[in-house]
Amino acid sequence: MLERGEVANSWRRERWDSLRLLTPNWQSRLPGQHYDGRDPDGYMTMAEVSDFIERYAAHSRTPLRTQTDVTSVRRTDDGYHVTTSQGDFGTQAVVIASGACNQPSVPPIGAAVPDSVEQLTPFDYRDPAKLPDGGVLVVGASATGVQLAAELQRSGRPVTLSVGEHVRLPRRYRGRDVLWWMDASGVWDQRYDEIEDLTRARRLPSPQLVGTPERATLDLNALTSMGVELVGRWAAVRDGTALFSGGLRNMFSLADLKMRRLLAAFDEWATASGLDAEVGPPERFEPTRVPASNRLQLDLGSGEIRAIVWATGFRPDYGWLDVPVLDAKGRLDHDGGIVSSPGLYALGLPVLRRRKSSFIYGIEDDARDVIGHLAGHLAARR
Ligand SMILES: Cc1cc2nc3c(=O)[nH]c(=O)nc-3n(C[C@H](O)[C@H](O)[C@H](O)COP(=O)(O)OP(=O)(O)OC[C@H]3O[C@@H](n4cnc5c(N)ncnc54)[C@H](O)[C@@H]3O)c2cc1C
């Protein structure tokens, strides 16, 4: 197992200081290692996640080579040639487990932002002190965007949040964590080959959730109550002015509708499973409040906005993969982790084999399936 940095590198190097997992502790599971602390319903800090993974590496006796950067993987007649910062070698099979979030995605409009406005990605951001005083425009309202918008607003900087398509969820529903419902009702076990629009499912933004000791909901209504200003999707920059789409009302209605449908599906499942007496009564949430007047443009040269935080998602980096298995958009061509080049496999990608593949605890079932195929491949060669 080759790792360019150290164990749990992404959690140590590529996350901000206040981040906690949005998945509850009981859901942090790796094959043969479950959470055994005193707060199964809490949410791990980054130090705790790193420690959890470090313990797993030791306990599983993973044959690890850290500080080993893979710079090329090429197909050969009998497998693959791997070039690393610590030397080359040949192998019959390769599992790509290099992560889905190696680089922040920043839309091309970033290039048109005046130099007077500082631009950061979640990889640059550590805490509010990193930013100049003054207004901040956070772009993107998924988990990263809502969390950073809340933290920056609390630091005294006026925050404007540009909202595109998003997934609204309450932190708790009928007395249980909303992710308990996802897990227990089977939503997260749904297989990739049963999902109607798999491409869309794999591109779905992360839910508006935060892991805090208070187990608070962090949806757009919570941000509005804190004083965050909501604007529409950032469409363009013209003459130094940011132009935002209208239609917040429609976007909010759609996210509210999808949330209501999901919660109704949980209710049906609870009734069918005879659980109604064990959980709280069904809850209905206030629709997302539409601002009385939402701005359609913002002069980026006026000094009102001193910094922009791009919370517009992440993407993988396959710059080192010299095998023609990427599509026109740079996505890996695979069928449930079995890549279209024999002996090449992938793990750790969104909805790889199940909806839960996007999360740490999805790895157990996925690894079993993918490694089963890999073992068959090696046996057939022998
Ligand atoms: C901001 C953020 C918050 C998240 N919150 C949660 C959460 O609350 N709960 C949850 O379950 N999941 C969460 N996730 C998803 C979680 O990161 C993934 O499920 C998990 O990290 C996947 O593990 P991985 O080992 O496949 O990928 P990674 O953790 O990305 O690890 C990939 C490793 O590969 C190494 N690598 C990459 N390229 C090379 C190379 N060329 N040579 C050598 N080594 C290389 C990297 O250094 C890295 O250590 C979050 C993701 C992000 C980005």
Residues within a 6 A CB radius of ligand 1: 2-5, 9-10, 15, 21-23, 69-70, 97-99, 101-102, 144, 314, 320, 348, 359-360
pLDDT for residue 17 is more than 90: yes
Instruction: Tell the residue nearest (CA) to atom 36 of ligand 1.
Output: 98
Q: What is the residue-averaged pLDDT of the chain?
A: 96
pLDDT for residue 157 is more than 90: yes
Contact 178, 346 (CB under 8 A): no
* Helix residue spans in the chain (DSSP H): 9-13, 46-59, 143-154, 178-184, 198-203, 220-226, 248-272, 363-381
Q: Which atom of ligand 1 is nearest to the CA of 15?
A: 1
Question: Going by C-beta distance under 8 Å and a sequence separation of 6 or more, which residues neighbour residue 366?
Answer: 337, 347, 348, 352, 353, 354, 357
Contact 378, 128 (CB under 8 A): no
Percentage above 70 pLDDT, the chain: 100
Q: What is the pLDDT of residue 98?
A: 98
Residue 337 DSSP class = T
Token pair listed for 90: 């040949």
Question: Going by C-beta distance under 8 Å and a sequence separation of 6 or more, which residues neighbour residue 302?
Answer: none
3-class DSSP state of 120: strand
pLDDT for residue 208 is more than 90: yes
Please provide residue 266's backbone torsions phi and psi, each rounded to the nearest 5 degrees: -65, -45
Q: Which atom of ligand 1 is nearest to the CA of 320?
A: 41
| Distance in Å, CA 330 to ligand 1 centroid | 18
Q: Which is it for strands 118-120 and 305-310: parallel, antiparallel or unpaired? A: parallel
3-class DSSP state of 248: helix
- Only one residue has tokens 């060669």, namely 381
Instruction: Tell the residue nearest (CA) to atom 19 of ligand 1.
Output: 359
Token pair listed for 150: 């809340």
Give residue 380's pLDDT band: very low, low, confident or very high (50, 70, 90).
Answer: very high
Instruction: Tell the residue nearest (CA) to atom 31 of ligand 1.
Output: 99
| Distance in Å, CA 346 to ligand 1 centroid | 13
Q: What is the pLDDT of residue 293?
A: 84
Q: What is the pLDDT of residue 50?
A: 97
Pocket test for ligand 1, best of 2, 9, 18, 89 (most atoms within 8 A of CB): 9
Residue 352: closest CA among 366, 332, 368: 366
Contact 171, 217 (CB under 8 A): yes
Q: What is the pLDDT of residue 223?
A: 98
Instruction: Tell the residue nearest (CA) to atom 39 of ligand 1.
Output: 98
Q: Which atom of ligand 1 is nearest to the CA of 102?
A: 30
Give residue 136's pLDDT band: very low, low, confident or very high (50, 70, 90).
Answer: very high
Question: Going by C-beta distance under 8 Å and a sequence separation of 6 or more, which residues neighbour residue 321?
Answer: 73, 96
Question: What is the CB-side half-sphere exposure of residue 72 using CA atoms within 13 A?
Answer: 10
pLDDT for residue 25 is more than 90: yes
| Distance in Å, CA 10 to ligand 1 centroid | 5
Chain Cα centroid distance, residue 207: 9
Q: Which atom of ligand 1 is nearest to the CA of 360?
A: 11
Q: Which atom of ligand 1 is nearest to the CA of 21?
A: 8
Q: What is the pLDDT of residue 368?
A: 96
Pocket test for ligand 1, best of 1, 2, 4 (most atoms within 8 A of CB): 4
pLDDT for residue 294 is more than 90: no
Give residue 113's pLDDT band: very low, low, confident or very high (50, 70, 90).
Answer: very high
| Distance in Å, CA 309 to ligand 1 centroid | 21
Instruction: Tell the residue nearest (CA) to atom 15 of ligand 1.
Output: 359
| Distance in Å, CA 101 to ligand 1 centroid | 6
| Distance in Å, CA 11 to ligand 1 centroid | 7
Tell me what the mean pLDDT of segment 97-102 comes to.
97
Q: What is the pLDDT of residue 140?
A: 98
* Helix residue spans in 305-381 (DSSP H): 363-381
Pocket test for ligand 1, best of 73, 83, 101 (most atoms within 8 A of CB): 101
- Taking only Cα atoms into account, the Rg of the chain, rounded to an integer number of angstroms, comes to 22
DSSP assignment of 22-84, as one string?
Answer: SS-GGG--BTTB---SS-TTS--BHHHHHHHHHHHHHHTT---B-S--EEEEEEETTEEEEEE
Tell me what the mean pLDDT of segment 166-181 comes to.
98
Q: What is the pLDDT of residue 382?
A: 86
